[in-house]
Structure 1
Amino acid sequence: MTGEGPSTASRLPDSSRGSLLVAAGIALSRVAGLIREITIAAFFGNSVATDAFSAAFRIPNILQNLLGEGVLSASFIPSYTGLLARGRTKEAGKVAGTILSLLILVTAALVLVGVFAADTLAGIFAPGFTGARRELTTTLIRVVTPGIGLLVLSAWCLGILNSHRRFFLSYVAPVLWNLAQIVGLLVAGVFAFTEIEGAGTVVTSDARGLIIVLAWATVAGAVLQLAVQIPTVAKLEPDLELSLHIDRESGTVLKRFLPVVGARGVVQLSALLDTLLASFLVVGAVSALRYGQVLYILPISVFGMSIAASELPELSSDAAVGKRDERVSAIRVRLRTGLARISYFVVPTALVYVVAGDLIVGTLLQRGEFERSDTVQVWSIIGAYGIGLVAATWARLLQSALYGIGDTTSPARASLARVGTSLVAGAILMVQFDQIGLGPEGLTVVGDLPAFSLVPAEVREAADTIPRLGAMGLALGVSVGSWVELRLLRDRLTRVVGRFDVVGGVRDNVLQAAFLAAGTTVVVRLITEQVPVFARGVLAVAAATITYLLASKSLGFPLARALNGRGPDRRPARTASARRSNDGGR
């Protein structure tokens, strides 16, 4: 790049407001998603019906993730934002129209494949499912796939809105998607279906009907999510025209698109393979993995994605103009402030997941068909995810930094390494942990250790089979892979901008406060043994939050500094005599 334009360092904008808007939108969406999962758990628990829905949704969900938000953000936003930053708005509109046209064609074709090849897809990606689980999964794939296609188009709207710094709407729109599912499930569950128990190895006719209603509700929600964004997008791009003409700028987007699709494709293939592997575990493992992933993704989305998404347009603008030294300086500043904000929120979350995950899961899900053994099963999963939670969240910002400077190959390679590591480690560990059951008396070894083969099919499908910890092994594999990915991303970015601290320079302060907060949950657990699980969870989270805020404040890192991306106040505390001297002896 040439040195034309204002100095990058001097025009470095404060993106903390953007990250707050993204965080607010994502938080509302994720809260709605949690309520959806709470509702599903109450009606179905960890059952065959939930297994089928989880697998069915995972399979077409690869379409959304391959062509949707993450890919478009990394490939489309840098080019589109760069054109806007240079005042080339007409060309930006042409690029937007071309990309939308291509997305419509590709998405339509893949939706047709999903609908007409549903049975084949179910056999490929959930081969452990047989009988009723297999048939129900096939039916659900046919229903939910068109809705996923609409969510891809919604992701294009997000790209336009984010490039124009309209962060809140694009990230709060999924609330409507979740709300449609909640309303559909509650209305149908209360007024249309009565015998909805789906536990064991059979699914009642009412449970089958209700889960299909839930699938149709996902389609209705996708329509609402897309529709609410269209008016604002139309105002921002009033002259948008659909076109299949690929000019130089559109070609640049497509060149970036393919490596990013490769990176996302590898990650999504990993998620599909996790579902495939979990289908060979005891009934309920796929459902438990689903609930665990919701809680795992929550802090990554709210704290990692919000910062990474708000920084990407700024990083792209910084890379478009200014001298090299100025661009590098701006990137380093953004990395340090963004990583400090992420660390402040995610480090304590990860520790609490490990130490008190059962209280969190119990508070959110333990009711109706969801029992105490299900709670412990999901706790084992989020505790395993917690080991790699900070690495996965830091990696989101490092990916955005590389995408912002036009490097889409390095994140793809890092993702490939992450997936390979996760699958190998996860496959080995899941076989071992599936020999450990959750009986009435606690953890019990119900198989041979070390194990060299899967649990027999007749045991996996038996109605009286107790929950097991096989899915925990898959989660541990993901955590190991996340640390490998982070190391590769950090090494690559270090070669571009120099050395930097992935914790954002706040490691000691955050760790001290986080360990105090985690210790508080242990104390609450001991003194509230006779209290109902919902109240125990609320008390534990409240106590941990208050402890963390007070401890971090005493260490010079209060909430306001975290939100503004500032590290701890490292100024030495003034003594009383020094204060009196500065105040004129008063």
Structure 2
Amino acid sequence: MSDPAPDPEGGDPAREGSSQRSSYLVAAGIGLSRIAGLAREAAVASFLGTGPQADAFRAAFRIPNLLQNLLGEGVLSASFIPGFSQLLAEGRERDAAHMARVVGTLLALLTGGFALIGLLLAEPLARLIAFGWIGTPQFDLTVTFMRILFPGIGLLVLSAWCLGILNSHRRFFLSYVAPVLWSAAQIAAVVAAGLAGLGLANIAQALAWGVLVGSAAQLAVQLPRVVRLLGGIPRPSLDLGFPPVRQAIRAFGPIVAGRGVVQLMTYVELALATLLATGAVSAMMLAQPLYMLPIALFGMSVAAAELPELARGRAAADADTQAARDALATRLRDGLARIAFFVAPSILGFVVLGEFIIRLLYERLAFDASDTRLVWFILIGFCVGLLATTSSRLLQNTLYAAGDTRRPAVYAALRMLLAATLGAVLMLQFDRVALMPDGDLALVGELPALGPLDAGLREDPALPRLGALGLAIAAGVSAWLEFGLLRRAVRRRLGVHVRVGGGRLARTWAAVAVAGVVAVAAVLLLGDLPALVGTPLAIVTTGVTYLAAAATLRIDDPLPLRSLWRRARG
């Protein structure tokens, strides 16, 4: 089939230079995929709750997921897109296609090898990560699930290669909406197994197979467009001497190190969580999709849209001219302001309306009110570093585009060390705090705590404990350390001063404060309504109040709301 005209993904040359429009396309694609992801998590929570089977699946998924995160979207974007985009900007389409073939071949070989290793060494790998479960049925389930999941994660890495090609051609929407198929396959698998009356372990195993099928679907939907952009089916090539490939490989190592440190931090958190009370792993993993939603929608969308433009203007960014520094400062200021405009009210929503939201998404069947409150507390802990984490995405990509891949890796390592050290201390203290059936908190055990709870207390599902909240708070505190270091690096490397929220944060928080009053009132007035009614009403009322307050305070509008309103009237 021929492509429609104009191309809804940004193929119109008259508009391709707008990074703001590109970020909207990325946000739209990510938004749809994240909505599908929340539906997936709701289905999984409904049938598996926060029990040992859910813990085992989520631990098993995290272990091969390291392969996707090390070799996938973030690393490819930072190492592959800059060189590929430069070739396209110079009109060297054949060289760009050749670079894509070589990188794709290398990724296929790497992921194939790692998938094989994962199949053969699933049990030793599980011992490294889930050592708190060794000798329990949870550990055996974790090993079984890992053997199913490893090949699917390899397919997701190749899907990230497609994303790099599509983004460099400014085809943002398809690459970010493709994960909808991944989530849909998992929803179908878990719902079919649940309605068939299978046991919890079999439902979790069906979910693992759904991950594998969904990974294949996510790759397959992107391949036809990639083939057209590359001028035909790419032939395997190992031309490692090709200069752009050599440059990408040189950048790949430090970026993998930086991303690897970040991923290592998540696995350290996972390993630590296996020492906490039952349900800590599942509750933390259920809070993370909500926490990651604004990061993906607003941090990743802005950073992903800016990276090709920053790469095309790399020489200008490195030039020692005031005009170049001013242009880059304006781009960063606007990007950070756009991020803060959406992330600040997201924090409000999670802190005040989080219990409403989690109840609507997850609370049914095996997931009860105590689970809702546990996930809500963990989500509040993650909010400590939400703005820092989201803004850091843009600063990292700025340094990558300027050729600096070492500093982000070092800063990520420092962040991991702080998060692991502080998290280990805080989680032991918070694991002594239990959620009572009446909703109150109670101290069960003595403080300060110097070690994990006894095994009998950890395995008691009757009293959920807040140990994972300590890990979430530590992650947030360490995120601010990383942001401060990245901001200093941008200033020293590029001579550009950046501020949180692009210098507009005070007015943004003022608008959030106004909306917060409405949010609290909504909780008090709508709390007794069914979640399906009360939650949307509370979110819409709070959101409209925030937008009205932002307009009153004359915060620069990152959305074309006024333009859309004029068009609607005209």
What TM-score, normalized to structure 1? 0.90
Could you say if the C-alpha distance between residues 284 and 450 of structure 1 is closer, same or farther in structure 2, counting changes exceeding 3 Å?
same
Q: CA deviation at 1:545?
A: 0.7
Amino acid at match of 2:152: G
Q: Name the structure 2 match of 1:480.
A: 477
Residue identity opposite 1:156 in structure 2: W
AA matched with 1:21: L
Partner of 1:108: 112
**Matches of 1:488 and 1:565 in 2, distance apart?**
35
Secondary structure of the structure 2 residue equivalent to 1:407:
coil
- The alpha carbon displacement at 1:324 in A equals 4.3
CA–CA distance in 2 between the matches of 1:22 and 1:284?
A: 34
Matched, 1:244 2:250: no
Q: Is the 8 A contact 2:526 2:538 kept in 1?
A: no
Question: Is 1:277 aligned to 2:282, yes or no?
Answer: no
8 A contact 1:304–1:397 mirrored in 2: yes
The yes-or-no answer on 1:374 pairing with 2:374 is no
- CA offset digits 1:308-365 (Å, max 9, x no partner): 0000000000114685424433321210111111010001111221233212211211
Q: Quick one: which of 352, 357, 366 aligns to 2:354?
A: 357
Partner of 2:330: 333
Deviation (angstroms), 1:564: 5.9
1:255-299 CA distance string (max 9 Å, x none): 100000001100111111111110111110000000011111110
Which amino acid in the other structure matches residue 312 of structure 1? L
The Cα shift of 1:563 comes to: 2.6
Sequence identity (%):
46
1:170 aligns with 2:175: yes
**CA deviation map 1:517-554 (0-9, x unaligned):** 22222111222343234433222212211110111111
Task: Count the aligned residue pairs.
Answer: 541
Alignment partners' CA distance in 1, 2:519 and 2:16 = 41
Matched ranges for 1:66-105 at <5 A: 66-105=70-109
Shift of 1:40: 0.7
Q: Which residue type is aligned with residue 537 of structure 1?
A: T
Q: Deviations over 1:195-230 (max 9, x none)?
A: xxxxxxxxxxx1111111110011000111000000
Q: Which residue of 1 aligns with 2:308?
A: 313
CA distance in 1, matches of 2:20, 2:93: 26
In structure 1, C-alpha distance between the alignment counterparts of 2:185 and 2:408, rounded to whole Å: 35
Say if 1:338 and 1:565, in contact at 8 Å, map to a contact too.
Answer: no
Query: Is 1:231 paired with 2:228?
Result: no
In structure 1, what is the equivalent of residue 525 of structure 2? Answer: 527
Distance 2:126 2:396 in 1: 32
Q: Does 1:262 align with 2:257?
A: yes
CA contact (8 A) 2:426 2:471 kept: yes
The CA distance in 2 between the partners of 1:371 and 1:12, in whole Å, is 48
Give matches, 1:143-542, under 5 Å. Answer: 143-190=148-195, 192-194=196-198, 206-238=199-231, 240-246=234-240, 247-320=242-315, 323-325=319-321, 326-441=323-438, 442-462=440-460, 464-495=461-492, 496-542=494-540
Query: d(CA) in 1 for partners of 2:116 and 2:320?
Result: 47
| Inter-partner Cα distance in structure 1 for 2:452 and 2:316 | 56
The amino acid of 2:537's aligned partner reads L
Cα RMSD, aligned residues only: 1.7
Counterpart of 1:46 in structure 2 is 50
How far, CA to CA, are the matches of 2:228 and 2:315 in structure 1?
25
Gaps (5+ residues) in structure 1?
1-10, 195-205, 567-586
* Contact 2:16-2:170 within 8 A present in 1 as well: no
List per-residue Cα deviations over 1:351-408 (Å, max 9, x = no partner). 2212332122112111111111111111111101111100000000111111111111
SS at match of 2:501: coil
| TM-fit CA distance, 1:37 | 0.4
SS at match of 1:503: helix
Letter in 1 for 2:140: E
Larger Rg: 1
Alpha-carbon distance between aligned partners in 1 of 2:197 and 2:521, rounded to the nearest angstrom:
43
* Aligned counterpart in structure 1 of residue 558 of structure 2, from 540, 558, 562: 562
Distance 1:100 1:565 in 2: 41
Aligned amino acid, residue 150 of structure 1: L
Offset from partner CA, 1:73-120 (integer Å, 9 cap, x none): 000000111111112222212211111111111111110111111111
Using a 3 Å threshold, how does the CA distance of structure 1 residues 13 and 19 change in structure 2: closer, same or farther? same
Question: Equivalents in 2 of 1:166, 1:317: separation in Å?
Answer: 16
Q: Distance in 2 between matches of 1:372 and 1:243?
A: 55
Unaligned runs of 5+ in 2: 1-14, 563-570
Cα distance in structure 2, aligned partners of 1:103 and 1:327: 36
Q: Contact (CA 8 Å) 1:436, 1:444: kept in 2 or not?
A: yes
* Post-superposition CA distance 1:477-513 (Å, at most 9, x none): 1001100000000000011132122211211221111
- Alpha carbons of structure 1 residues 444 and 502: separation in structure 2 relative to 1, 3 Å: same
Whether the 8 Å CA contact 2:131–2:274 is kept in 1: the answer is: yes
Superposed displacement of residue 461, structure 1? 1.8
CA distance in 1: counterparts of 2:32 and 2:353, whole angstroms: 23
Indicate if the aligned counterparts of 1:49 and 1:211 stay in contact, CA closer than 8 A. yes
Q: Name the aligned partner's letter for residue 450 of structure 1.
A: P
CA contact (8 A) 1:331 1:497 kept: no
Distance 1:314 1:455 in 2: 52
SS state of the match for residue 91, structure 2? coil
Partner residue of 2:12? none
Cα 1:294–1:28, aligned 2, differ >3 Å: closer, same or farther?
same
One-letter amino acid matched to 1:476: I
Q: Name the CA distance, whole Å, in 2 between partners of 1:266 and 1:436.
A: 30
Paired with 1:520 and 1:418, the residues of 2 have a C-alpha distance of 36
Which residue number corresponds to residue 6 of structure 2?
A: none
Q: Is the 8 A contact 1:341 1:565 kept in 2?
A: no
Residue by residue over 1:161-201, the C-alpha shift from the partner in whole angstroms, topping out at 9 and shown as x without a partner, is 000000000000000000111112112221x225xxxxxxx
SS in 2 for 1:562: coil
Assess, with a 3 A threshold, how the Cα gap between structure 1 residues 223 and 305 changes in structure 2: closer, same or farther: same
Asked if structure 2 preserves the Cα contact closer than 8 Å seen for 1:16 and 1:565, the reply is no
- Matched residues in 1 for 2:520 and 2:85: separation? 48
- Shift in alpha-carbon separation, 1:529–1:224, aligned structure 2, 3 A: closer
Q: Residue 368 of structure 1: SS of its match in structure 2?
A: coil
Mapped contact 1:459–1:465 kept (Cα < 8 A): no
1:452-491 residue CA offsets vs partner (Å, 9 max, x unmatched): 11111121123x5410000000000100110000000000
